[in-house]
Amino acid sequence: MLIKSAKFVQSMSAFREFPGQGLPEIAMVGKSNVGKSSLINNLARNSRLARTSSEPGKTRLVNLYLLNDAFFLVDLPGYGFAKAPKQEKQKWADMIEGYLRNTQHLKHVFQLVDIRHAPTQDDQLMVQYLRHYEIPFTVVATKADKLSKAQRGRSIPVICRTLSVQPWEVLVHSSADGTGRDALLDRIESEIQVPESPAEGYETSDNLIEDI
């Protein structure tokens, strides 16, 4: 998929209807500073679209970006920023959960982890949450430019073991050198094409069984 346009649409502190709602949404989750906003910028090929920072806790709202006038990328606050004030952390957690629980058009979540470190307990909880609510997700091991190929080969199994995913399910990514950008766009393309509900004349497997 080629990205032809990318624009910021709006920020919200709690989930509510937004312009263009109904288009598919792909959301970024992960701990503070893992690179969620940078990944959006890499997909959009625009380093100034989403605000990034070397300090954790930069994204403090649910931010919506419209790509190709066809789908939304949703940037969420991070979790697990130990130094943030307790109240602030609770606010971010409420925003993440408020969005994930209330949106009707979420097609897929990119669960970001830092390729250099074993996923944290918060990452494990997040993945459990996504599984519990049956939200489809892909683990993205980002900041891959920080490791050699051999080091990557050693860290992927750790990520897989900790999060109970298979190696071929993990997408390796770097916002710094663009590694994995095409694979992420391919994943988005296939996820946003899944129909919301069976279209008329479309037989679900249940129907087929009944027909037999």
Ligand X SMILES: Nc1nc2c(ncn2[C@@H]2O[C@H](COP(=O)(O)OP(=O)(O)OP(=O)(O)O)[C@@H](O)[C@H]2O)c(=O)[nH]1
- Joined together, the tokens standing for residue 28 give 């970024």
Binding positions for Mg ion, 96-155, rule CB under 5 A? none
Q: What is the DSSP letter of 147?
A: S
Binding positions for ligand X, 5-64, rule CB under 6 A? 30, 32-38, 52-54, 56-59
Nearest distance in Å: CB 178, Mg ion: 19
Nearest distance in Å: CB 200, ligand X: 41
Q: Is 37 in the site for Mg ion (CB under 5 A)?
A: yes
3-state secondary structure 49-97: CCCCCCCCCCCCCEEEEEECCCEEEEECCCECCCCCCHHHHHHHHHHHH
Q: Is the dihedral of CA 99, 101, 102, 104 positive or negative?
A: positive
Q: What is the DSSP letter of 203?
A: P
Q: Is 59 in the site for Mg ion (CB under 5 A)?
A: yes
Q: Which residues pair with 73 in a beta bridge?
A: 26, 65
94 interacts with, out of ligand X, Mg ion, none, CB within 5 to 8 A per kind: none
Q: Is 162 in the site for ligand X (CB under 6 A)?
A: no
Indicate the pairing of strand 171-172 with strand 62-67.
Answer: unpaired
175 interacts with, out of ligand X, Mg ion, none, CB within 5 to 8 A per kind: ligand X
**x/- track of binding to ligand X for residues 121-160 (CB under 6 A):** ---------------------xx-xx--------------
Nearest distance in Å: CB 113, ligand X: 11
